[in-house]
Chains A and B, each alone.
Chain A
Amino acid sequence: MSKAQSAAQSAAGTAPGKGPGPGARPAFAGDLPNPYLPMPATVIEVINESPSIKTFRLVLNDERAMRDFHFEPGQVGQLSMFGVGESTFVINSPPTRKDYLQFSVMKAGENTAALHGLSAGDTVGVRAPLGNFFPYESMKGKDIVFIGGGIGMAPLRTLLLFMLDTRKDYGRIRLLYGARSPQDMAFSAELPDWLVRGDLETVLTIDREAEGWEHKVGLIPNVLLEMAPAPENCVAVTCGPPIMIKFTLQALEKLGFAPEQIVTTLEKRMKCGIGICGRCNIGDKYVCVDGPVFTLAQLKGMPNEL
């Protein structure tokens, strides 16, 4: 079409032939659910995990919403303190245990500080579930190595408990969990069980010697190299602070794990949680909807911007 022709057409009010055309717009139904509206929930229990980490167990105030709540291991939720803000945390109770939703919160900013002030009976807002989840279907029949650092243990806990609840679907399951010091180790109430149960091999490590510590001392990647899990028919699932992840990935590659065998879950500053507000992108992927769970193979195909 020549310029003059297209101009003549536009004057007569027809489309220049590209895109959705004149007047096109998405439909709007009046009863559209509002994805920004949190569900009110009540705190039923607060567990002090470490000086900086608290775990909250919540039930949704709407009984039916609680009963029908469905999520997959690794999905996240937004916790609201009304008047303060909202931030994203993994739902770290497994979908197989439905009495409550559990979130572990490290005190880091304004909202997490406010969350740390909660006690049983208090009201919070929940928007969940959001994001993708661990590919547990494709992990069936395989050996699993969990490698968690600090608060990074929270998302792993979901999948770990889920796998323990569906134990026969998986091969050997090992957990390497590290923190700076014994005090920084979350889920201490559960650790004794994890250490003794026969269907899970648990190794704990801290960065530096501490009095009364009976487990490993050393940085996670080094302890991992000592453990030397065989990569054959195995999937490694890891989460932790950026520097730990960096060296853990190197260790796993050294042990012969292919990028497809390494699964991690990412953290980014998030606001909407539904792929609109635009801040959690890595290239064309949004951590809130395309993630937070990615394989290393996927990450390698994305721009390097963690």
Chain B
Amino acid sequence: MSDRSFTPAFISFKALSGWLRALAQKATVHAPRREGRAVVYRELGDGQGLESFLRPTESAKHVLFPRSEALFSFQRQGEAAGAASGKIRLQEPEGEGPAIIFGALSCDARGFLSFDPVYDGCGTAQAVGGIAKDPYYLRRRANTSIIVRACKSALNTCFCHWVGGGPASTEGADLLATDLEGGLLLSPCSEAGAALLEHPDCVPALPEQIAAAAALHAAAERSLGEAPPAGELAASRAALLALFENSEFWQRQSAQCLSCGACTYLCPTCYCFNITDESNGIAGARLRSWDSCMSALFTLEASGHNPRAAKAARLKNRVGHKFSYYPAIHEGRFSCCGCGRCIKSCPSSVDIRKIVLAAIKEAAHV
């Protein structure tokens, strides 16, 4: 990335909606909105209501990885009946235009870093058929700018600092917004982010505003709970493998789990999907939809055999993937950004932090 240092700007809350509406002329702007008890991302309307910090219930991953999208549509040609007779025409969808995510949390921006190597074809690096990259994700990734809004304080489910993040981390961000008195400090982190500031209402920030933001970031860091000592968490990689066949441990950890998909679908780093066809007989589409490793069908084979029939095996895979298998092939990085949504929104209060720490402890005793 560029070494050039960017100049932070300030925008008043009064001008915020105007700036965002101007951005929305050139890109689809997704911004958080409170709806009932949830805070969800919606396409920008009038841009009002964004003066106050909102912590989205869902992550922003659906902007780059829609809940369901057509990989292609198909159309049978000619009058022949039957599922496979006649010629077939396949059509890829047109890619969307540029997008901007406003008000993502720092953990959400870091979440995409877990997607990146996977969707960029790392798994097929050695493949004979060649490297297979995911054009759907990569197109959106290149086309989307992320404006992170720094967290003012941590919740007790937050643990971004366990996994290398922080309330004002700029990893994966193009622009960092910090709530100040009367407006936002906008600190660019990339060329794309700097470009978003080309607007008359984005005025050069004053040194005291930059200092105030830094103080707020430091205060937010202090509000985070205690993290395990540096390096201790890395023991999860070996520990989770060592405990793989300890079914008693996994029964205990998964006893309260409902095996629903709330954790995986709210997770900024969970990237698994299903592929299914929808058809009216003549035309249809092949869909790629979110899928969850907590679902029994995820690994059910046509023969009826299921390597992860029990919820304990599925929870083990979810935790194992994030804290052991993924790091093993991605330079030690966890596939977890510590946003805590899986804990906060779990209907049954499953706490992945406890499971990982318990695994490390249990493995150390063996």
Direct contact of A and B (CB under 8 A): yes
Q: Is B19 an interface residue (CB 8 A)?
A: no
Q: Is A228 an interface residue (CB 8 A)?
A: no
Q: Is B273 an interface residue (CB 8 A)?
A: yes
Residue of A14, A35, A304 near B5 (CB, 8 A) is A14
Q: Which residues of A contact B1 (CB under 8 A)?
A: 15, 21-24
Stretch of A125-133, A157-165, A181-189, A212-220 on the interface side: A125-133
Contact A28 B217 (CB under 8 A): no
Q: Which residues of A contact B352 (CB under 8 A)?
A: none
Chain B residues bordering chain A, tally (CB within 8 A): 109
Residue of B86, B130, B171, B324 near A15 (CB, 8 A) is B171
- Measured CA separation A269–B190 after assembly (Å): 41
CB distance from B66 to the nearest CB of A (A): 14
- Encode contact with B along A274-306: 1 for CB under 8 Å, 0 otherwise: 111111111110100100000000000001111
Q: Is B67 an interface residue (CB 8 A)?
A: no
Q: A22-B190, A36-B286, A82-B74 are in contact. Are A279 and B291 (CB under 8 A)?
A: yes
A residues 154-183 near B (Cβ < 8 Å) are none
Q: Is A140 an interface residue (CB 8 A)?
A: no
Dominant secondary structure at the A interface: loop
Stretch of B35-43, B52-60, B254-262, B298-306 on the interface side: B298-306
- Measured CA separation A121–B272 after assembly (Å): 36
- Measured CA separation A246–B161 after assembly (Å): 44
- Encode contact with B along A106-131: 1 for CB under 8 Å, 0 otherwise: 00110110100110011111001111
Q: A16-B169, A36-B288, A40-B88 are in contact. Are A7 and B123 (CB under 8 A)?
A: no
Q: Is B98 an interface residue (CB 8 A)?
A: no
Q: A23-B190, A283-B241, A283-B325 are in contact. Are A272 and B273 (CB under 8 A)?
A: yes
Q: Is B193 an interface residue (CB 8 A)?
A: yes
Contact B188 A84 (CB under 8 A): no
Chain A residues at the B interface, C-beta cutoff of 8 Å: 3-4, 6-8, 10-16, 18-28, 32-38, 40, 43, 70-72, 75, 80-87, 108-109, 111-112, 114, 117-118, 121-125, 128-133, 241-242, 267-269, 271-272, 274-284, 286, 289, 303-306
Give 16 CB contacts A-B under 8 Å.
A7-B218, A11-B178, A34-B71, A34-B92, A40-B87, A71-B129, A81-B84, A82-B277, A84-B83, A87-B302, A124-B84, A131-B127, A275-B118, A275-B123, A284-B326, A303-B244
Given A82-B76, A129-B128, 7 other A-B residues pairs in contact with their CB atoms under 8 A: A15-B189, A24-B172, A82-B286, A123-B88, A276-B271, A277-B291, A303-B244
